[in-house]
Structure 1
Amino acid sequence: MLPVLLIFISGFIFQRVFMLDIKPISTMAMYLLLPFLVFKTFYQQPINQNFFYIVVTSIIIMALLIVIGLIIAKLLHYNKKKTNAFLLATVFANNGNYGVPVALFAFGQKGLAYAMPLMIFYTILMGVVGIYIAASGTSGVKTAFISVLKQPMNYAIIPGIIFQQMSLTMPSNLMKTVNMISQTAIPVIMLVLGMQLANVMGKHIDWRSVGIVSIVRLIISPVIAYLICIPFHLSPLLQNIIVVMAAMPSAANTTIYAIQYNTEPEFVSSATLITTIVSIPTLTLLLNFVS
């Protein structure tokens, strides 16, 4: 965890000093750096039965977390807006600028080969279901599909798979460009998360609700993932990646959704901050258990 934390802290301190506009940096990472990383991942990693397991387990985990979130919201008498915010914070994990780096540092390139397809599919789920939840069903479906269509990483998957399945070799000079740009993606998105966390410091925190979010997101979610993996008889590495990725804190992108649709943005951003801080000891314990 130490290399990951040091990069987060660097972004956090940098943002507290300079208070930059994060959106252009985030846009560059999302629309330029990640597509190169996605292409490289699918170009080098064949699509096999493991990808099917990633898709199925991700959908089941998300569905169960939505059900749990709705039950908790009902018991706590949340209104519609607070319920949607609670779902945003509990259902969607930060697999991108947190989960992928942790998988890389903890499990190496083999772990990254599983973590990247999982992150990509989860990003699609978040772009559809997450926006639908944030929009409260008003124009969620239309907005979700538009959002998915605007994500260039989804289009980078197709040529990557075609090149891999047809055994086509990228020219060495072009591959050097792909490698150089893709290698910058993970460090940049990690710095962006640190900067985002610096922006939500000092906001009002609903400690009871955020505490429940932390329990669901950091404890219940990985337990669910582990139980779901059992009947599939997955390889130990793939099972560990699915469980660890399910134990990530609240996704940073949900804060953007909450702001855009006015879905309790202070609560969602506070949940992202607190779950990220609390995840340091919980993930450390989990990684020591599964490694």
Structure 2
Amino acid sequence: MTIFFSVVLPVILVFAIGFAVQKWQKLDLRPLSTVAIYVMTPALVFRTFYQSEVDMQYVYMIIFSLVLLFALIILNKFYVKVMNYSSSLESGMILSTAFMNAGNYGAPIILFAYGEAAFAYAVSFLVFQSIIMNFFGVYYAARGGTGIRTAIKAVFAMPATYAVIVAIALKSFSLGIPENLFRTVDIIAEATIPTVMIILGMQLARIEWGNFEWGKISYAVVVRLLVSPLIAWFITLALPIDPLLAKVLIVSAAMPSAATIVIYAVQFDAKPKFVSSVTFISTLISIITLTLLLMILG
């Protein structure tokens, strides 16, 4: 229970504050989300890559992300074929199970559980996951040739992508930035995590209850919270990954469905009610599963 009170509960309480504020005030999330996406997250990503030493562990992180993604996609395709579900439901299941909330849920959990070194890995992982989500998530939501073109545009429209490029370029050419300018970046970066946590709570407050397809939701929740970290564990055994990074990746893989993916499901009509339901239910149940996983990993 110590892990729950010291690691999980503080994060859940921040979500709860965002949830309560949204239920009370019914605010427009677009301006706040825009600031988080275009200003705050790029600042956090830039600081992380600018200060971190990029080595082979980051290559293993990319390999891990792709192997996990394709393993979950194959699992869903097999399940949909066996159950004889529709193509649109297949898209909804892939969206709700293959993409985890590594940013506004995973990063703070890892920070509280394992400290600043692990947090640097977590931020790097959320960048890779954002790129994967913006490409494959959009593709499976839209499908077909249009989906590919839209997915490519989505990746290059993501500010964090350019933050990584600029940070690595500066490091590669040994170019420093003035201390006062970096302090500005640092201030914004520090505010990013609590802001996106509150935004997640507000997003969850907008999901409507009622008429849940519990059979399909149960499958998706089990895959997202239990099967995904199990696959992640096997992948970390197969790669020469640093033990701390391995914990970060396994915990990240055990995160609930990404709230961002609900936007794609709504935009492209890829079973939005099902996807949003899985996001909400998996976030609630993750309070228990993450606590247990953190206890197992130590």
Is this a same-fold pair by TM over 0.5? yes
Q: Deviations over 1:256-290 (max 9, x none)?
A: 00000011111100100000001000000111111
1:73-222 superposed matches below 5 A: 73-222=80-229
Structure 2 partner of 1:225 = 232
Structure 2 partner of 1:245 = 252
CA shift in 2, pair 1:157/1:34, >3 Å: same
Q: Which moved more, 1:276-285 or 1:157-166?
A: 157-166
Q: Deviations over 1:133-169 (max 9, x none)?
A: 0002251110011111111110011121122334433
Q: Give the length in aligned residue pairs.
A: 291
User: Aligned partner of 2:41: which letter?
Assistant: L
User: Is contact 1:204-1:266 (8 Å) kept?
Assistant: no
Structure 2 partner of 1:23 = 30
Q: Distance in 2 between matches of 1:280 and 1:192?
A: 18
User: Aligned partner of 1:281: which letter?
Assistant: I
Matched, 1:276 2:261: no
User: Is contact 1:46-1:165 (8 Å) kept?
Assistant: no
Matched, 1:63 2:50: no
Q: CA deviation at 1:234?
A: 1.7
**What TM-score results when the alignment is normalised by the length of structure 1?**
0.97
Tell me, which stretches of 5 or more residues in structure 2 are unaligned? 1-7
Q: Secondary structure at the match of 2:144?
A: coil
Q: CA deviation at 1:132?
A: 0.3
Q: CA deviation at 1:46?
A: 1.4
Q: Distance in 1 between matches of 2:194 and 2:26?
A: 19
Match of 2:41 among 34, 43, 62: 34
User: Sequence identity of aligned pairs in percent?
Assistant: 41
Q: CA deviation at 1:103?
A: 1.1
Tell me, which stretches of 5 or more residues in structure 1 are unaligned? none
User: Is contact 1:99-1:115 (8 Å) kept?
Assistant: yes
Structure 1 partner of 2:296 = 289
Structure 1 partner of 2:58 = 51
**What TM-score results when the alignment is normalised by the length of structure 2?**
0.95
Alignment RMSD, CA only? 1.1
Q: Deviations over 1:14-45 (max 9, x none)?
A: 10101111122111111111111110000000
